[in-house]
Every structure is written in structure tokens, then in C-alpha cells.
Amino acid sequence: MIRQSIHGRDPLTGEFLEILVENGIIRSIAPGLSGKDLWLSPGFIDLQVNGYSGCDLNAESITPDLVTALMYRLFAVGVTTFIPTIITASEDRIIAALRAIGEARNSSPLVRHVIPFVHVEGPHISPADGPRGAHPRSHVRHPDIAEFERWQVVSGGLVGMVTLSPHWDPALPYIEHLASRGCVVAIGHTDAEPSRIHAAAEAGAVLSTHLGNGVAGDLPRHPNLLWAQLADDRLTASFIADGHHLPADTLKAMLRAKGTEHSILISDAVALAGMPPGRYETSVGGTVELTAGGRIGIPGTRTLAGAALSLKAGIATVARLPGFSLRDSILMATENPGRFAGGRGVLRVGADADLVQFRWDRAGGDIEIVKLLVRGVAP
């Protein structure tokens, strides 16, 4: 029997805890010693990762080793569960990526635990400039149930989330079919009318992908698709809180509108995250520029091409917003996304010991990872 304990202050309650772990499971949660500067929470859960630190899930070809390397690089920034995200591409390329991720999971119980499913963002998005973002126009296509089923056959049912635009005529029956198969359906990269947003939620869509991004730069004052998604209580919304995708006022207003319980923080990190500033050739967006401030965009345009900061940076950003707290931001990066990943992200006796111990410097705006456990093991 492998036993250990880990201490820290619970961001949700402010109480100091000692958690006893046995064989990878939380066996007890008891009051701990006070006066320490360490916080303790469930490991961070990122529902949208395209890559990180040189590992690109949307490269021309990926390998199981790349998937495993990406997992270890995310451990360093406190992520214990992540959802690999494949963007708009040819069906052959999507299937090749699914196979590589599936092989990585089949080769390692650790990878299988950390990656519960895959998110396909597209290819059924708006083809229009603006809402399409950096996704390649040549591979945008209408929703096709037969194609989704081919993905599932090849991957063994690994696709657990799909982001699409509900403007397509076949979108509503497609959403109904995916929801009936247990797949999380999200709205994103869309120019759909508000009525189609509500119809998508009625059909079974439950998420808005990086709300406020993947949308035209100019919209009617009202009605518009942002108001519709903010107002529809059937939709939880994910947000990229990196300081580039959403200005602080916009982020705060959107979080207020959805409420903490219906908000999720994601990184949307791409392979350039954690890399030096400069111009790069990438599979997402072609030539892109990474600035010292962590903005990745297509040169000469307002179009962003993913995010360069990890989820812990978004947690720190929201925790510093007036009217919000570390408790709020930790909920948005653990329990809330965990509802879409099998109920993970909570401190509970009997749960897997996926835990992160960290220091929080509110003034400096930084979260420092001190210790990480994945099923009770420090990887």
C-alpha cells in the first residue's frame, strides 16, 4: 500500500487541509496545519488544448509519443486532465490524429486517465472570415452524422466533444444525434442567428466554446449571437482569460452574465505556448507572430491564432478581476469543467487523487506549481 499526505489551504473554503492518499485514491480529508503559504486544489482541467511547448496536435502528422510528451509538459503547469483538441481539417487528417491519440491512451494507463476523450473543434463551423478564425476555409464543411460515426469507429468512441456552428441546415439533427450518443456539443466559430443558438440548445448543445471569440468583429447591438448565448441558461460558456482574447471589462461582464457556476476557463493553448517571441510557420494559421506579451496572431490582421498562455495564467487573471476571487477562478478550472469530464475536479473521499499544491501571488499575478499528484503519484 502506498500512503502519503499533502497539505494546503482549500481555495473554495479558505480552510487548511491535510489529505491522505492511499493507492491513488483520496482516503480522508481532515483539518491541517495553518499558517502555510501553500494552496491545495484538485488538478486543473483544460477542455481545449491544441498543443503546448512545441507539441502540436494539429501538425501534418502526430505520433503517440508527441501526445505523451504534451501530457508531461502540461503537468508542469498544474493540468492533470486535458482534452486534446483537433481543429478543422480533412477527414483523413482528423482520423490520423484520433488514431495517434488513441494509441497513446492504449499504451499507457496514465495517458488514458489524463485524456478522457478528444474535442473536435470544427470542421462544421462558419466559413466566413471572422467567425472562422484561423481555421482553414478549404476544409470547412456541413455537419455529417456519417462522418462523425466514422470518427468514432476509427477511434473507439474517443470523440467526446464537438464544436460547431448551428447555422448549417443539418446542424439540429446532427446535434440531437451526438447528444444521444453522449457527446458534448458546443457552439463556436459561428455567425448563427440568435434563434438558431436557442434551437441548438434545445437540440442538446450544452457549451459555448471560447465565448466572445470565433465571432465577427462587428455585430448588431441587439439581438445578436453573443446575447443569445449569454442569456441561454442551458449553455455553460468557456472563456480564454489570457488578456488578449477578451479585454478585462468584456471578460468580467460575460462572467457576471453567465455566473460562476456556468463559466469555465480554458487555455486554447497551441504549440507556440511557452516558446520565445517571433514569427513562426504553423499548422494553425500559417505564418503567425508571437509577441513578448503572449499574443499569437496572423500578421497584419486582428485575427488571433490560438493562445500562448497556460490555464494557470487564466486562473490568475480571473482571480485578480474586481469582484472575483481565487475561489471563483479555481471553480472555473476544476469542478465546472470536471462536470463535462466524468465528474472530476472535486476534493472528495474516494475520488482519484489528482491534486495540485501551489503558491498564489496575487500582487504579482502568478501561480507557482509546487507539487502535482496524478492518481497519487508525482509524475
**216-242 pLDDT, tens per residue?**
999 999 999 999 999 999 999 999 999
Residue 142 has pLDDT above 70, yes or no: yes
Name the average pLDDT for the chain: 95
Per-residue confidence at 269, pLDDT binned at 50, 70, 90? Answer: very high
Average pLDDT over residues 175-190: 98
pLDDT band at 284 (very low <50, low <70, confident <90, very high): low
Asked if 74 and 44 touch (Cβ cutoff 8 Å), the reply is no
pLDDT at 255 over 80: yes
- Mean pLDDT, residues 150-172: 98
Centre a 10 Å sphere on the Cβ of residue 361 and count the other Cβ atoms it contains.
11
Q: What is the mean pLDDT of residues 155-177?
A: 98
Residue 285 has pLDDT above 90, yes or no: no
Q: What percentage of the chain has pLDDT greater than the value 90? A: 89
Q: Is the model's pLDDT at 320 over the cut of 70?
A: yes
From the list 360, 356, 358, the residue with the least C-alpha distance to 376 is 356
**pLDDT (0 to 100) of residue 305:** 78
Q: What is the per-residue pLDDT for 377?
A: 93
Instruction: Quickly count: other Cβ atoms within 10 Å of residue 100's Cβ.
Output: 19
Percent of the chain with pLDDT over 70: 99
In terms of Cβ atoms closer than 10 Å to its own Cβ (0-12, 13-18, 19+), residue 66 is buried
Can you tell me the mean pLDDT for 87-112? 98
Q: Which domains does the chain have, with CATH numbers?
A: 1-41+345-379 (2.30.40.10), 44-344 (3.20.20.140)
Q: What is the rounded distance in angstroms from the CA atom of residue 104 to the CA atom of residue 109?
A: 9
Q: How far is CA 124 from CA 149, 186, 378, in A?
A: 15, 11, 39
pLDDT tens, 8-46? 999 999 999 999 999 999 999 999 988 778 999 999 999
